[in-house]
């Protein structure tokens, strides 16, 4: 990792992800989380204030050391134990059937091999366990998709490999999850190419 991706980018991501529009989406996606939870792409811990009291502990998976440092204050303000437990969502250091639920917010865009990460979540979730997700991805409208394809190379270079055109719901179902709840929408106050969001809960068989 270079200086930009190691030290600068996690700070940019922290500021971008603190946008006002994100908070209600974090609140929604965290609803219903319970028991032992794994969060991939933990970032700077912006979901921590939204973990429901039914969550017993969280295993946080995050490669960026700076993100973890920026999470310090939020971690100090919760009573839910959160451990940095892994560095890579593509290869999770947990036994099969370890978790009741998983959380991913605006992370599936960035993980290089997202199919591998979803496969790992399937493996570590208990049967019937749920994946809660809110992700930006391929827009429902052709005109927006056109711009997403044009802008994706720049987006990937500037934002640590962030893709604009990943078909989130297809990726989740392709990994064998069954969608239980889903809302697809454009985020308020975001350009459409960046704010085509899918928020939902999917269940591992
Ligand atoms: C756009 S940020 C979102 C951060 C956080 N989930 C949030 O909602 O604020 C994407 C995150 O994915 C992390 N990430 C990148 N590659 C990853 C990988 N292979 N495994 C797990 N997380 C990864 C990045 O370091 C970054 O923190």
Instruction: Tell me the per-residue pLDDT of 162-177, one tens digit each, with 9 for 90 and over.
Output: 999 999 999 999 999 9
- 36 - beta bridge partners? 57
Cβ atoms of 151 and 182 within 8 Å: the answer is: no
CA 44 from centre of chain: 12
| Ligand 1 pocket member 67 (CB < 6 A) | yes
For residue range 23-47, list pLDDT tens digits in order: 999 999 999 999 999 999 999 999 9
Tokens of 40: 């991939």
CB of 67 within 8 A of CB of 42?
A: yes
Residue bearing the bigger pLDDT, 62 or 20: 62
CB 33 within 8 A of CB 105: no
Q: Is 137 in the pocket of ligand 1 (CB under 6 A)?
A: no
pTM for the model stands at 0.95
Predicted confidence band at 154 (pLDDT cuts at 50, 70, 90)? very high
The first and second tokens of residue 201, run together, are: 């809960």
Q: Probe ligand 1: pick from 28, 43, 106, max atoms within 8 Å of CB?
A: 43
The closest-lying atom of ligand 1 relative to the alpha carbon of residue 17 is 9
Q: What is the DSSP letter of 98?
A: -
CA dihedral 121, 126, 129, 133 (to 10 degrees): -10
């Amino acid at each position: 990792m270079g200086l930009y991706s190691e030290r600068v980018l996690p700070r940019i991501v922290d500021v971008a992800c603190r946008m006002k529009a994100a908070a209600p989406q974090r609140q929604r996606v965290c609803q219903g989380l319970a028991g032992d939870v794994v969060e991939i792409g933990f970032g700077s811990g912006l979901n921590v204030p939204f973990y429901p009291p039914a969550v017993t502990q969280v295993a946080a998976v995050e490669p960026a050391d700076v993100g973890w440092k920026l999470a310090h204050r939020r971690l100090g303000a919760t009573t839910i134990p959160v451990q940095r437990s892994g560095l890579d969502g593509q290869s999770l250091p947990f036994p099969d059937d370890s978790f009741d639920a998983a959380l991913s917010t605006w992370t599936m865009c960035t993980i290089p091999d997202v199919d591998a990460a979803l496969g790992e979540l399937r493996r570590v979730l208990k049967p019937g366990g749920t994946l809660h997700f809110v992700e930006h991805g391929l827009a429902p409208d052709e005109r927006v998709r056109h711009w997403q394809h044009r802008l994706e190379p720049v987006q990937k270079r500037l934002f640590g490999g962030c893709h604009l055109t990943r078909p989130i719901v297809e990726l989740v179902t392709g990994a064998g999850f069954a969608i239980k709840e889903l809302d697809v929408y454009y985020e308020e106050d975001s350009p459409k190419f960046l704010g085509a969001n899918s928020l939902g809960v999917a269940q591992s068989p």
